[in-house]
Structure 1
C-alpha cells in the first residue's frame, strides 16, 4: 500500500481509488449498467476484484475508508459494505457499522453482494436474527431486502425456517426488489424444507406476483424433482 500522498484522504482510501481506476472495464461497465437500473457513478470493476480490494483494505485500515468512502460511487459503496464482513470488528462494532451502512444501500447488487460477506451472522444467530427482524419490518425497500437476503444466506435452517416463513408471509411492500427477494427466499426455503414451504404456499399469504414468482423460481431449480414441479404448477394464481 502506498504512502499517503494526499492531505485529504488516508493511504488506504488513496490505494482503493487507484485500484478501482486500474481495474475499471468499460465493456463490463456498460453490461452491468443494464442489470442495475439507475446506476450512474460506476467505473466497471468486477465483483471478485472488489472483494479482493475489500479484504486488503479491511486488514489495513477499516475505519479510515469507512469514514472517507464516496457514498455516491457504486464501487466505493460496495467496498464500504463488504469490508464490514472482512474487518476484525467486535460484535457491537459490526452492529453499529451495519446500522450506519444499511440505510446507504440503493440497489440490489450492493445489497446482495455485501450480505453474502456477513458470515459472522452464522454465529450468535439469535442476536442477529433479532437484528434482521427490525429491518424486515421497515418501510424502506432496500432495508427489507437486506433483511430477506441475509436470512436466505444464513438462516434457512432447522432453527429458523419457521420464523423465516412467518416473516415472508408478513412482509408488505410494493417494491419490486422486495418482492423478488421474497420469492428468492421462498425458493431456497423450498429446496431445503419442501414440505414446510409448500404448506406455506398453500396458505396464500403472499401477493400474487410474489406467490407466482416464488413458484417459478422453485420450478427453475435443478434440485426440485419433476413431480414436485408439476404439482407446484397447479398452485399458481391467475390474477384477473
Structure 2
C-alpha cells in the first residue's frame, strides 16, 4: 500500500547480504507469506511521523484497515502513525481497535508499544487495555502485556497488573504459530502461546527491577506455569539491573 514510500529506505545490507537478510527475518519470526522489505526502525519511524503529520492521516488509517496484504514494515508504520497522530484519546482507542487485531509478530507489537508516548497511567487507558488482556489471541494479549509494562509498572498499578496476569488462561489463547503455520526458521522455542509467555516473563523481570519485594511476593504465591517462571528467571538474569537480584 505504501511500499513506494518505504523502498528508498530499505537497508542496503539487507538487500545485498543474504546471511544478514536471513538473520533479520529470523529475528522477526514472521508468519509464512509475510513480506519483509528490510527497513530498520528509525526509518520506519521517520515515515510514520511524516504520515501522522499529513492531512490524510485518518484517511490512510482507513486504507490500512481495508488492505489485507500488508508487509511487515507497512504494519509497523501503520501502528507508529497511530502513536504519533494528534487525536483525542477516544479517537485513538477507536483506531487502535482496528490495528491491534492485525498485529502478527512480536516486532510489530513491541515497536508500536514502545513508541506509545500518548499512553499515561490513567483509568481510561487501563480500561481500554483490559479488552486486550481478556482476548484469546496471542498478539492481542501481548499488546496488553507490553503496554502495561511500559505504562503501568508503578506502585499504584502493579497489583492491577499482577491481577491481570493471574487471570491469564494460557491454554485458551490461540497462536498463529501452530497448526502448520510455524516458520521453518523461527525463534519460537517453547509451548504456545510463546509470545504471551515470554511477554509475561519480561514484564515480571522488569517489575523485579523496579519493585523487587512486591514482585517476589507475587511470584512466590502465583500459579504461573513452570515454563513462564523459567523464562522470568532467564530474563532477570539477562538484565544488568537484576542479574544479582533474587527472583524469588
TM range (shorter): 0.7 to 0.9
Aligned with 2:39 (options 15, 38, 45): 45
Q: Unaligned 5+ residue runs, structure 1?
A: 1-12, 236-240
Match of 1:101 in 2: 99
Q: Is the 8 A contact 1:119 1:154 kept in 2?
A: no
Which residue number in structure 1 is paired with residue 114 of structure 2?
A: 116
- Structure 2: distance between partners of 1:64 and 1:171: 36
Deviation larger for 25-34 or 208-217: 25-34
Question: Residues 180-199 of structure 1: matches in 2 within 5 Å?
Answer: 180-199=198-217
Larger displacement relative to structure 2 (61-70 or 43-52): 61-70
CA distance in structure 2 between the partners assigned to 1:213 and 1:17 by the alignment: 37
Alignment of 1:1-240 (within 5 A): 16-25=2-11, 26=15, 27=17, 29-39=21-31, 40-60=34-54, 61-69=56-64, 70=67, 71-122=69-120, 125-173=122-170, 174-224=192-242, 226=244, 228-229=245-246, 232=247
Deviations 1:112-171 (A, max 9, x none): 101112221116x11111111121111110110000000001110122011111112221
Count of aligned pairs between the two proteins: 215
Distance of 1:221 and 1:74 partners within structure 2: 28
Distance 2:224 2:45 in 1: 35
**Bigger mean CA deviation after superposition, 34-43 or 24-33:** 24-33
User: What SS does the aligned partner of 2:163 have?
Assistant: helix
Cα distance, 1:190 vs structure 2? 0.7
1:225 Cα deviation from its structure 2 partner: 6.1
TM-score by length of 1: 0.84
Unaligned runs of 5+ residues in structure 2 are 171-191
CA contact (8 A) 1:50 1:75 kept: yes
Report if aligned partners of 2:103, 2:109 keep a CA contact under 8 Å in 1.
Answer: yes
More relative contact order in 1 or in 2 (CA 8 Å, sep 6+)? Answer: 2
> Between Structure 1 and Structure 2, which shows a larger proportion of helix residues?
1
Q: TM-score, normalised by structure 2?
A: 0.81
Structure with max Cα Rg? 1
Distance in structure 2 (CA, Å) of the matches to 1:117 and 1:38: 21
